[in-house]
Structure 1
Amino acid sequence: MPLSNTLPPEFDRGVVTTVHQGDCHVSNAADITFSTVLGSCISACVRDKVALVGGMNHFLLAEQSGSAKDRYGASARYGAFAMEQLINKVLSQGSGKKANLEIKVFGGGKINSALDDVGAKNIEFVRQFLADEGYVATSEDLGGMFARRVLFKPHSGRAFVKRLDSDAGANVAKEEMALAKRRVVVPAPVDDIELF
């Protein structure tokens, strides 16, 4: 995963799809690039290295809960849903074998002190989620005091990270603060579905 300010030629052509907070996109097209900008948020890039299909999600755990049952509250259930959704989509469109997945994770920056280091909590969450599910990230760029743009080619599995300057980081922090203040957390589907 190169860390640079100039785009490699592979990322400079084709169709770019922006992955916004709450999104999950999966593709096997060779000319698709998924792109997102992260502050405190996390994006996972999951790829089936045999079927050459991959995807990207983008989520923020902005709300804590004191619940002993779920140490991150409803937002972690959303984060878990976002991770499970991406993994399941890649598995269903790919070979269906967990052993063929490679996972890269990005984000979790501390770009605004008013967010009470949500980034560190997001990093802890995604690492624990992967460990609990038996996955190991093949690559990561987490933490720091900056926002980042992440580009991911789902077909090849190549990822590119560009660290953003403080002005861009301030804009990302402002957007995340607005979401955190509104306590907007996209609800995950109800876990206990009863089938007849």
Structure 2
Amino acid sequence: MAADRYTGLAQRPEHVVQGEFRVTEHPDAVLTTVLGSCVAACMRDPALGIGGMNHFLLPGAQDQGRDAAGGDAQRFGAYAMELLVNALLQRGAQRGRLEVKLFGGARMLKGLTDVGAANAAFAEGYLRAEGLAHAGGSLRGDQARRVQYWPATGRARQILLPHQVADPFEAERERVRRPPPAPASAGELELF
């Protein structure tokens, strides 16, 4: 019965890791990532059914001693957002139609600088400054999360990972090695 949960869902998963972004117009694509303090922006032009996702580590700008031609610069929010927006525009998306869902920004380590809060604040501020429509999502908190995003429809699903998972990224690598079980309904968030 658990397999019924996935009936009719897109079945072309593409994983987006830290410092990467993907853009697709394939109707069956689902973009996935695992986030702790990092943030992912899920962005689309609903009129064209084209969209993408990025995954950034820090809110800073590319001019903070990093290589603007790629490399470490892609780990920074300012650069990652520009890459995603520009890639969508190059494929025909219109800036005024772009809608964005933001995920991540959790406080993963108590007692240290709250990088997750800084990432979340940066992402929200970026959308305001650029006049992009904030269509929802889930920022902050204290849990890692797995995010799935269907660019063709704008549907997004978040699955919170248990607190006892010491390394949520190792848990994700293990999940990729074997078929995923049906997620429990607790801790899930779906946006349409």
Structure 2 residue aligned with 1:164: 161
**1:149 corresponds to:** 146
User: 1:14: how far off?
Assistant: 1.2
Give the letter aligned to residue 83 of structure 2: Q
1:2-41 to structure 2, matched below 5 A, reads 9-11=7-9, 13-41=10-38
Change (3 A) 1:10 1:55: farther
**Offset, 1:136:** 3.0
Matched, 1:106 2:86: no
Question: More helix by proportion, 1 or 2?
Answer: 1
Q: TM-score, normalised by structure 2?
A: 0.74
Determine if contact 2:30/2:148 at 8 Å carries over to the other structure. yes
* Residue among 77, 92, 95 paired with 1:94: 92
Q: Please state whether the residue corresponding to 1:125 is helix, strand or coil.
A: helix
Is structure 2 residue 126 aligned with structure 1 residue 138? no
What is the CA distance between 1:81 and its match in structure 2?
Answer: 0.9
**Cα pair 1:111 1:173 within 8 Å, conserved:** no
Give 3-state SS (helix, strand or coil) of 1:40's partner. coil
Q: Matched residue pairs, number?
A: 160
| Alpha-carbon distance in 1 for matches of 2:121, 2:64 | 14
Question: What residue number does 2:41 align with?
Answer: 44
- Over the aligned positions, Cα root-mean-square deviation in angstroms equals 2.7
Separation of aligned partners in 1, 2:45 and 2:158? 21
**Aligned CA distance change for structure 1 residues 14 and 33 (closer, same or farther; 3 Å):** same
Structure 2 CA distance for partners of 1:30 and 1:110, relative to 1, 3 Å: same
Deviation at 1:34, TM superposition (A): 0.5
1:48 and 1:91 in contact (8 A); partners too: no
Q: Which runs of 5+ in 2 are unaligned?
A: 67-72, 171-192
Q: Which runs of 4+ in 1 moved over 3 A?
A: 6-11, 72-75
1:167 shift after superposition: 3.1
- Give the Cα–Cα distance (whole angstroms) in 1 for the partners of residues 65 and 57 of structure 2: 12
Q: Is the 8 A contact 1:45 1:56 kept in 2?
A: yes
Shift of residue 44, structure 1, vs aligned partner = 0.2
For structure 1, the residue ranges without an aligned partner over 5 or more in a row are 1-5, 65-69, 175-196
Q: Assess, with a 3 A threshold, how the Cα gap between structure 1 residues 145 and 10 changes in structure 2: closer, same or farther.
A: farther
Higher RCO, Cα 8 Å, sep 6+: 1
- SS of 1:87's equivalent in the other structure is helix
- Using the TM superposition, give the Cα deviation of residue 7 of structure 1 relative to its aligned residue in structure 2, in angstroms: 5.3
TM-score by length of 1: 0.73
Return the letter of the residue paired with 1:94: G
User: 2 CA distance for matches of 1:147 and 1:7?
Assistant: 22
Partners of 2:29 and 2:128 lie apart in 1 by: 29
Equivalent residues of 1:52, 1:94 under 8 A apart: no
